[in-house]
Structure 1
Amino acid sequence: MPEPEDRPTHLLDARSLRGLAHPLRMRLLTALRRGGPATASQLAEKLGESSGATSYHLRQLAEHGFVEDAPEHGKGRERWWRAVHGGVQFDESLLRHADPTVRGAASAFLHEVATTHAQELSTFLGTTHEWSEEWYRASDASDFTLRLPPALALELVQKMHDLVEHYRTQASAEAAPDAEQVRVHTHVFPVRTN
């Protein structure tokens, strides 16, 4: 089975969003994508949760198609899980869905994504001494402010996504020995200036 980052992304719809929009489920899915297959007990220990909670939420993720059994890892009664997709794509129309529970799940999902992005960047900044000078120089925490109409902002988002996909394809083909998982966060949103 391909590495999680090489697998296609899953476009969230109203049903799958309801199955994912929970902080522990999102953390479990992230742990499986980054760390590979694991049992509920291993994930509970890693995330500081009870194995009962992780088991329940893994089953919910499986019901919504985000995780599946990884039987090749199991021994005896151990149940191993793996991520099905390399990531998810959020459909902005979910924020304006007719069902208020879907809108609430969309908002909760996006807030959890923002929290995760902030935590990931903070973790990197706190551990830069653990990375080589080469990796430190290859990292980036820039921000830019542009004045764009919605059409150009949308074009910018698409071009960034296309660029990331280009590098995903190139990295998969080359399989460099010094390759590491690299997180790329993009945020494009309007701000009021007054």
Structure 2
Amino acid sequence: MTEGSPAARAAMNPAASAREIKALAHPLRLRILRLCGLNELTNKQLADRLGQDPGTMLYHVRQLVSTGFLEPGEVRTGESGALEKPYRSTGRSWHLDTALDEAGSNGPLAPIDALREELAESGPHALASLSRFVLHLSKADADDLISRIYGVLKEYTATDTSRAGEPTYGGMFVLHRSPD
């Protein structure tokens, strides 16, 4: 199994189950995961940050906890002296190469919608790079391109803790077949 090959990617980031895909098929849940990957946040903090009511936020948080993408942190005392229950990302990785149709029509687009919302929130000066391209690729070429890009991403994610004091960047790599 070569590094970055589809089989190696599947071993490192197992395919999400149908239940997990459904949990990830909502852009708000993906934004919750991103935020809780950076800091432990309470339901109220998430609701305030994402402009949602606490009841809606709790529903989405529970979906992520039940599928193992979020976990409760240590109960702590908040600024007002009340006890708070923060949540943090478990850091589980997944890929959505298979079973996307089980997530419903919005499943594959949820990460794109979440990214669009994050970009809008960040403002126009936050964009570090954007590349739009069209390529003619065989299946082998597409697999090679994906493997090579995942290899570079793996290098950076494996050493990310060493750069914890640096600004946080987000991104997404999407390769799709053109309808043409």
Q: What TM-score does the superposition give when structure 1 sets the normalisation length?
A: 0.72
Q: 1:10 to 1:83 in 2, by over 3 A?
A: farther
State the TM-score, normalizing by the size of structure 2. Answer: 0.77
The 5 Å alignment of 1:142-181 reads: 142-172=131-161, 174-175=162-163, 177=165, 179-181=166-168
Report if aligned partners of 2:21, 2:100 keep a CA contact under 8 Å in 1. no
Change (3 A) 1:124 1:142: farther
* Equivalent in the alignment of 1:182: 169
Q: Answer yes or no: is the 8 Å Cα contact 1:33–1:83 preserved in 2.
A: yes
1:127 is the counterpart of 2:125 = yes
Give the direction of change, closer, same or farther, for the CA distance of 1:122–1:65 in structure 2 (3 Å limit). Answer: same
Greater helix proportion: 1
Give, in whole Å, the separation in 2 of the partners of 1:60 and 1:176: 28
1:82-101 to 2 correspondence within 5 Å? 82-85=88-91, 87-90=93-96, 92-95=97-100
Q: How many residues in Structure 1 have an aligned counterpart in Structure 2?
A: 165
| Structure 2 counterpart of 1:54 | 57
Tell me the alpha carbon deviations over residues 74-129 of structure 1, each in whole angstroms, 9 at most, x when there is no partner. 12532111111164321x22035xxxxx241xx3222121222334445556134x
Distance apart, 1:143 and its partner CA: 2.1
Query: Contact (CA 8 Å) 2:100, 2:108: kept in 1 or not?
Result: no
Correspondence 1:109 to 2:89: no
Percent identical residues: 25
Q: Which runs of 5+ in 2 are unaligned?
A: 1-11
The answer as to 2:43 corresponding to 1:40 is yes
- CA distance in structure 1 between the partners assigned to 2:115 and 2:91 by the alignment: 19
> Contact conserved, 1:95 with 1:103, CA < 8 A, in 2?
yes
Is there any run of 5+ residues in structure 1 with no aligned partner, and where? 1-7, 97-101, 129-135
Q: 1:77 to 1:9 in 2, by over 3 A?
A: farther
Pairing partner for 2:73 from 70, 75, 78: 70
Partner of 1:27: 31
Using CA pairs under 8 Å that are at least 6 residues apart, name the structure with larger relative contact order, 1 or 2. Answer: 2
Secondary structure of 1:82's aligned partner: strand
Q: Higher mean Cα deviation, 55-64 or 154-163?
A: 55-64
